Structures are given as C-alpha cells and as structure tokens.
Homo-oligomer: A and B are copies of this chain.
Amino acid sequence: MAKEDMTDKSLVKKLKGRIKRLRKDLAQMGTVVQMPSVSPLAPAAGFPVLPVIDGVRFASGSAEVKYKDRDDVTLVEIAAGSAVAGVFTTSQTRSSAVLDCQEKLAALHKSGKTDEPLGLVVNSGNANAFTGKAGDGSVKAVCDAAATTLGTSAGNVFTSSTGVIGEPLPHDRIVTKLIQLGDELSTERAEASARAIMTTDTFAKGAWAEFVLDGRTVKIAGYAKGSGMIAPDMATMLVYIYTDAAITNGALQKIVSANNQSSFNSITVDSDTSTSDTVLVFATGAAGNTEIKSTASKAAKEFSTQLHGVMLDLAHQVVKDGEGATKFIEIAVTGAQSDAAAHTVGLAIANSPLVKTAFAGEDPNWGRVVMAVGKSGEKADRDALAIRFGDILVAEKGWVAESYTEQDGVDYMKGAELVLGVDLGVGKGRATVWTCDFTHGYIQINADYRS
C-alpha cells in the first residue's frame, strides 16, 4: 500500500511537471489556444448608440441562409429623394451583387435622384460569389422581392452578400423573409442591422457624427463588417453609412471617393482583396440644410470632414477586428517623393509578413522595416532614412540612432496600439496606413476554416 501511495504521489509530481512543460510550449506558440471571443482591440464601450437618421428604416431577421440561431438578412429603406454614392472592390472576379450595384449606381447618377425609395438588402452566410450565371438570377430575385416590399423599382435596390463562396445562394428563403420584414421596418433598428451582416467579426462596428450645417443639425450613422482584408469566404468588408444631410448625388460621390482613399483604402489586415467589398452612403436630405452641390463650399468641407471621421473610425474598427490581431499599428510615412509613393511604402510595410510577425513577437526589429521600404520600389535613400517607434528615434542616417537602446524599443512594443514613423528623406509626400499584427491566431483561423 505504502509503495503504491508513493507511486501515485510521484506520478502526480511527474504529471504536474508534464503539464507545466506543455503549458510552456503553448505559451511559446502564442496566446491563441483559447481564441478570444471578442478581439482584445475592440472598443471598450461596445457598439455605440447610433442617432436616428430621419428617412432611414431598418429590419433584420433570420432567413437561415447558413446560420440557424441569428439574424442573417437585413432590409433597409431609404426615403424617396435620397442621394446615394458608393465605392467597390477593384477585383477582376467581383461578385454578381457588386456588378449589379455598380450598374444601378451609374444609372441613378445619370438620371438624378428618384422620387421612389431606395432599398438595401444584405445577407450573411453566403457570398453568392463564383456561382456562375445563377448568381445573377439570385441578385435579381432578391431585388425584385425587396422592390415589391418597399413599393419601389428593382433598379433602386442595392444588395450585398457575404459568406461562403461557390455555393448557390438560397434566395427563396431570403425572398420569403423580405416580405415579412416589410412590416418590421423601424428607424430604431440600426444595431440589429449591423449585427445581421456579421460573419467572422468578433464585434459589431458602428460610428456616428452630429454637427451643424446652416443652423440645422445633421447626423451621420454607419456600420461595417470585416475582419480579414479580406477573404472571399467570410471576411469581406461591407460598409453602410446613412445621413440626413441634403446633398446631390454628384457631390456625395466625390466626397465618398476622396475620403475612401484615406480611410478604407488605407487599411490592410492580410493584403487580400475580397470579391465583394462594398461601401454605400445614403443621404436623405431630411436635415433641411441647403443642398450641398459642389465639394468646394464651406458646408461641403464640413460634411466631408465629419463623414471622413465616421469612415476612418469604421476602418480602424475593421483593422482592430483583424483575424488574430493583438496589436493595432499606425504607419506614418513622411518625406516621400509624393503622397502616392508614401501610400505605397506604407502598404509595403503594413503587408510585410516579416514586419507583422515582428510586431506579434513584440520585437523592435527595425531592420525588417528597412527591408519593406526597399522592396516597395519607391525611391528611398539608405543614408537619409529615419525610423521611429512612437517618439523614440530608432534609426537615422543609414544606421541605428546613437540615442537608441534596444530596451527602449522592447518596452515600446509591449503596447497594444503602436505608431511606426518612417521618414524617407527624399521629398514632401506623406501618407498614413493602419494594420494589425500577424499571429498564430491568423493561421489558426485561416488554416482550419472550412474543416
């Protein structure tokens, strides 16, 4: 008996040692064994209370496209007389819904504002991408049903689909649900709409603004989904923004396109581009401000600034929900030959797997930044390059800075929100881009996705 006791006790000791070693192995592999249910970079305050936008009503429900226990389709009605603008993926293999949106947007911009309502339908769970000619039929069926429900023409209805690709969209189930949703439209249901479009997102993303134009209070409310940048499977970036500002189609499009470059076109998670990326902005005019007709007026500039704030906030939230992300990284490039060159250099750094894994490892590896600058193809001068982590000067004049210590760099890298400054020293061009780190979590999510 005594001997067996000893055996058990020594066995316990041995097993505890083994557990300790296994835990150490796991720790060395990163911190992703238990993937967090919500990104550690998610806004602490949760989804914001979005202001009601006069003229915009939302409804959401479950069409069981793929998920069984959550909303997966949303219908939005935007009042007659509204303006609309959009930007879309540049992918050569873009989805039926994107092609349909682009066609309708062009037609509406040509014909001018319509006196019928505009409509938006988004489903999650199935991207209706690479589904051949059948995909076009699905878009048409959904638009027809939404048009009937909203009492408008199918030409006024925009759609997006996000989820698995290559599988036929079960549009009959969406059509059935849309008819029911017509009775549930409400100005108060924006958050449910934001949740219905989520796929691999770990949190719903919303942003808003309220400001005064011509003595009238103007509101902007928007939401987005996206967590890879951007897989065609389940991580497409979709963005919908609503405002009660009065503005022409032409002015709205110009402002959205310009703002897009420094917001959604300046973020990257993994350098991949979805077949379905969509940004749509609707403006009802209910605020009663003098209609904005050009981009040059003071009112246009104020509106643009406020809209840019909402777009950038949503863009940052998409990066903060980047698959496996544990760090949010701002890359500020200055001293480039042009702003465009600075943007190219910024994205070369932001997309470099070696830079992103260094951030994941909290390794102040400025050599990888030099490498990424070099591979961008843009003009750089080895002996004029300067690199900063936050306020810390790391490298200058082609070598490590005299004042820099490795410990300063190591300490800085422990933060969750980091700023990398790169001055190329060859001109006045500048641009800022945002990305996240590249962790075991990304591999885990994307290597195991369909299995």
Contacts and interface: CB of A to CB of B under 8 A. Distances in A.
A170 B305 CA distance: 54
A30 B374 contact: no
A421 interface: no
A107 interface: no
Interface residues of A, number: 90
Interface stretch (A115-123, A199-207, A436-444): A436-444
Nearest to A397: B132
A329 interface: no
Contact of A26 (B26, B134, B233): B26
Contacts of A271: 351-353
Interface stretch (A243-251, A306-314, A354-362): A354-362
A16 B131 CA distance: 48
A274 interface: yes
Interface stretch (A7-15, A40-48, A78-86, A174-182): A7-15
A93 B371 contact: yes
A91 interface: yes
A275 B371 contact: yes
Nearest to A448: B361
A367 B232 CA distance: 7
A443 B446 contact: no
Contacts of A169: none
A373 to B, nearest CB: 6
A399 interface: yes
Contacts of A33: 25, 28-29
A161 to B, nearest CB: 13
Interface stretch (A184-192, A288-296, A376-384): A376-384
A363 B451 contact: yes
Contact of A370 (B29, B232, B371, B372): B232
A92 interface: yes
A66 interface: no
B231 A129 contact: no
A358 B130 contact: no
Interface in A380-408: 380, 382-383, 385, 395, 397-400
A19 interface: yes
Interface string A194-237: 00000000000000000000000000000000001001110000
Q: Which 10 A-B pairs have the closest CB atoms?
A: A93-B374, A361-B447, A91-B374, A273-B375, A132-B399, A357-B446, A165-B367, A8-B8, A15-B15, A132-B398
Interface of A: 1, 4-5, 8-9, 11-12, 15-16, 18-19, 22-23, 25-26, 28-30, 32-33, 89-94, 129-134, 164-166, 228, 231-233, 270-275, 351-354, 357-358, 360-363, 365-368, 370-380, 382-383, 385, 395, 397-400, 438-440, 442-444, 446-451
Given A166-B366, A232-B368, A353-B442, 5 more contacts: A8-B9, A28-B448, A92-B373, A166-B395, A360-B443
